[in-house]
């Protein structure tokens, strides 16, 4: 769910780039922002979509060097989200593809306007071969899967890895990456390329200057915020225009306090899932930040880049975010800032999971459309990106881990990335991965995040009112037969 710190339009040599906005998000991954075209609009468009296409996809002969059978002269089109991870890593990977298939014409486009650019092409049956479906205009993956708009990526996962022909691609990936791409049984429709740690981000220098440690309990969190307030520094800020960032730390706290099954019930849209005592306790804890005046003044009106700039300038100690924040804010973070991630503070010793419990998962979702002209080409581009060289290039340039289990050898890790790796090691098996943000994008962003949690943090709803409102949203979604529903096994 990475995003962009540049709000100006950019250009590439191989394709047009659209300009302003924000990624997510998730993931990273999200990734994120309110979609310019509502997800429900995309659903109805796909359901009614025309563009019947009888042209057969390009297919070549499968060989040891070409295990997916890419047609050597088939054009390949790749659309990348131009967010916090930028476009250079994609351009570099395309160069590798072009060396392997010199007769192929590759069209590479980097854009922030994923949905408004690509929805008409999906409806018309002319989508690209590979899409990084991320950002403010991320297309709803649950809708895409439900409408059979995505190709099954199993051939890619079962192909030999780019570096070792004795290993399948699936066997080189970080834990959970394959499962995240599954929406309805065994098929894998999405490959999350980045690996994101979500949590509470802070400056180690700022905590050192306050002579405090990162707080492991909420009482300690409030004490640190009070000490900061007396020094003229806010405890927290967040992207008030996009308040679904708040769950990047809040959801993991709920899981820590009540156990992973609480989050699974929320993902499953179960009745009264949001009324669990752990949800109530954590909502009340976060509401205290507002009630005690620990949130930076004006935060409800800030964009993602504005809140991150305020944090980087030392106006607030903590910000909920994903590991893309270090790269996205690189231009405003001081050299001695000490970018660090903290796992969610808990309540007390009654918490179901230990301190260090973390939300970490795949981000930056890549998909191959079912009606692509060159699906093997799109999958081959992904196979290249999951090789050691491309993964190291990604990590070194964007300060994020990739989905490849490794890919950091010989790289000098940045402070934020070092902190993220340490957080993952501390978490061990205590990794949480809420799925609601990719199963129900519109519900998570527009209703739960903005209409519920965002309103509470701005002081316009009490925790009880926010929970009642969010449970109503979830119940509506559960009863809506036009929505494809997913459940944990």
Contacts of 440 (CB under 8 A, 6+ apart): 140, 142, 269, 477, 483
State the Rg of the chain over Cα. 22
Cα separations (Å) of 219 from 102, 277, 347, 459? Answer: 61, 18, 7, 21
The structure's pTM equals 0.78
64-68, 138-142, 231-235, 317-321, range with the lowest pLDDT: 138-142
- In this prediction, residue 213 has a pLDDT band, given cuts at 50, 70 and 90, of very high
How many angstroms separate the CA atoms of 273 and 259, rounded?
A: 13
Task: Give the DSSP letter of residue 391.
Answer: H
Q: Which pLDDT value is given to residue 60? A: 84
Q: Which two tokens stand for residue 452?
A: 């519920």
Parallel, antiparallel, or unpaired: how do β-strands 106-111 and 76-81 relate? parallel
Burial class (CB in 10 A: 0-12, 13-18, 19+), 92: middle
Q: Which pLDDT value is given to residue 322? A: 93
Q: Alpha helices, DSSP H only, in 56-140?
A: 88-100, 114-123
179-188, 347-356, 439-448, range with the lowest pLDDT: 179-188
Using DSSP, state whether 82 is helix, strand or coil: coil
Task: Give the DSSP letter of residue 174.
Answer: P
What value does the mean pLDDT take over residues 210-228?
A: 98
Query: Which residue spans within 356-469 are E strands per DSSP?
Result: 358-367, 401-402, 431-432
Q: Which pLDDT value is given to residue 46? A: 46
Q: Alpha helices, DSSP H only, in 302-387?
A: 304-312, 325-328, 375-385
Task: Give the DSSP letter of residue 333.
Answer: S
How many angstroms separate the CA atoms of 105 and 74, rounded?
A: 7
Task: Give the DSSP letter of residue 83.
Answer: S
Quickly list DSSP for 243-281: GGGTHHHHHHHHHHHH-HHHHHHHHTT-TTGGGSHHHHH
Q: Is the pLDDT of residue 24 over 80?
A: no
How many angstroms separate the CA atoms of 181 and 227, rounded?
A: 44
Q: Which pLDDT value is given to residue 1? A: 41
In degrees rounded to 5, what are phi and psi of residue 317? Answer: -80, -45
Cα separations (Å) of 259 from 217, 255, 279, 349? Answer: 16, 5, 11, 13
- Give the chain's end-to-end CA distance (angstroms, integer): 25
Q: Which pLDDT value is given to residue 34? A: 30
Burial class (CB in 10 A: 0-12, 13-18, 19+), 176: middle
- In this prediction, residue 186 has a pLDDT band, given cuts at 50, 70 and 90, of confident
Q: Is the pLDDT of residue 110 over 90?
A: yes
Q: Is the pLDDT of residue 6 over 50?
A: no
pLDDT digits (tens, 9 = 90+) for 236-268: 999 999 999 999 999 999 999 999 999 999 999
Quickly list DSSP for 177-221: HHHHTBSSSS-B--EEEEEEEEEEEEEHHHHHHHT-PPPSBHHHH
pLDDT digits (tens, 9 = 90+) for 437-470: 888 988 999 999 999 999 999 999 999 999 999 9
Cα–Cα nearest to 298, from 229, 239, 230, 228: 239
How many angstroms separate the CA atoms of 35 and 139, rounded?
A: 8
Average pLDDT, the chain: 88
- On whether the CB atoms of residues 456 and 467 are closer than 8 A, the answer is no
Q: Which pLDDT value is given to residue 54? A: 55
Q: Is the pLDDT of residue 21 over 90?
A: no
In degrees rounded to 5, what are phi and psi of residue 107? Answer: -110, 115
How many angstroms separate the CA atoms of 374 and 231, rounded?
A: 59
How many angstroms separate the CA atoms of 71 and 212, rounded?
A: 60
Q: Which pLDDT value is given to residue 194? A: 94
Cα separations (Å) of 82 from 25, 38, 53, 304, 412? Answer: 13, 20, 29, 15, 24
Parallel, antiparallel, or unpaired: how do β-strands 234-236 and 316-322 relate? parallel
Q: Is the pLDDT of residue 362 over 70?
A: yes
Instruction: Decide which of 485 and 1 is more confident.
Output: 485
- On whether the CB atoms of residues 454 and 473 are closer than 8 A, the answer is no
CB atoms within 10 A of CB 416: 25
Contacts of 332 (CB under 8 A, 6+ apart): 5, 308, 309, 312, 313
What value does the mean pLDDT take over residues 193-208?
A: 96
In degrees rounded to 5, what are phi and psi of residue 191? Answer: -115, 110
Cα–Cα nearest to 439, from 194, 269, 250: 269
225-239, 320-334, 372-386, range with the lowest pLDDT: 320-334
pLDDT digits (tens, 9 = 90+) for 33-90: 333 333 444 444 444 444 444 578 888 889 999 999 999 999 999 999 998 789 999 9
How many angstroms separate the CA atoms of 427 and 421, rounded?
A: 10
- On whether the CB atoms of residues 119 and 38 are closer than 8 A, the answer is no
- On whether the CB atoms of residues 261 and 432 are closer than 8 A, the answer is no
pLDDT digits (tens, 9 = 90+) for 280-315: 999 999 999 999 999 999 999 999 999 999 999 999
């Amino acid at each position: 769910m990475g995003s962009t710190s540049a709000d100006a339009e950019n250009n590439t040599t191989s394709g047009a780039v659209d300009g302003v906005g924000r990624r997510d998000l998730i993931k990273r991954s999200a990734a994120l922002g309110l979609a310019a075209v509502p997800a429900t609009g995309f659903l109805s468009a796909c359901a009614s979509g025309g563009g019947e296409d009888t042209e057969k996809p390009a297919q070549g002969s499968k060989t040891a060097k070409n295990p997916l059978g890419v047609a050597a002269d088939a054009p390949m089109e790749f659309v990348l989200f131009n967010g916090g991870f930028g476009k250079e890593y994609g351009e570099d990977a395309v160069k590798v593809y072009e060396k392997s298939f010199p007769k192929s014409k590759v069209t590479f486009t980097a854009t922030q306007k994923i949905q408004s650019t690509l929805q008409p092409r999906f409806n018309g049956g002319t989508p690209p071969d590979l899409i990084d479906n991320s950002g403010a205009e991320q297309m709803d993956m649950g809708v895409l899967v439900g409408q059979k708009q995505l190709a099954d990526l199993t051939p890619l996962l079962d192909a030999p890895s780019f570096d070792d022909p004795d290993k399948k691609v699936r066997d080189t990936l970080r834990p959970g990456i394959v499962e995240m791409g599954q929406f309805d049984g065994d098929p894998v429709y999405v490959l999350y390329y980045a690996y994101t740690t979500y949590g509470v981000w802070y400056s180690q220098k700022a905590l050192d200057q306050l002579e405090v440690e990162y707080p492991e309990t909420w009482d300690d969190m409030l004490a640190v915020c009070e000490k900061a307030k007396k020094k003229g520094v806010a405890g927290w800020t967040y992207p008030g225009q996009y308040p679904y960032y708040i769950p990047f730390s809040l959801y993991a706290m709920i899981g820590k306090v009540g156990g992973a099954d609480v989050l699974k019930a929320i993902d499953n849209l179960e009745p009264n899932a949001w009324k669990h005592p752990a949800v109530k306790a954590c909502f009340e804890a976060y509401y205290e930040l507002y009630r005690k005046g620990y949130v930076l003044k004006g935060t409800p009106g800030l964009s993602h880049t504005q809140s991150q700039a305020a944090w980087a300038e030392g106006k607030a100690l903590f910000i909920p975010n994903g590991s893309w924040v270090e790269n996205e804010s690189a231009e405003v973070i001081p050299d001695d800032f000490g970018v660090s991630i903290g796992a969610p503070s808990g309540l007390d010793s009654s918490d179901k999971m230990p301190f260090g419990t973390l939300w970490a998962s795949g981000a930056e979702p890549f998909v191959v459309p079912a009606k692509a002209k060159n699906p093997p080409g799109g999958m081959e581009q992904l196979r290249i990106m999951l090789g050691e060289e491309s993964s190291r290039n990604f990590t070194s340039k964007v300060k994020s881990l990739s989905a490849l289990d490794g890919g950091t050898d010989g790289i000098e890790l940045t402070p934020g990335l070092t902190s993220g790796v340490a957080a993952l090691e501390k978490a061990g098996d205590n990794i949480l991965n809420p799925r609601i943000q990719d199963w129900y994008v519109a519900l998570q962003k527009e209703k739960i995040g903005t209409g519920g949690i965002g309103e509470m943090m701005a002081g316009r709803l009490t925790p009880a009112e926010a929970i009642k409102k969010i449970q109503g949203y979830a119940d509506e979604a559960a009863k809506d037969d036009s929505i494809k529903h997913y459940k944990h096994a």
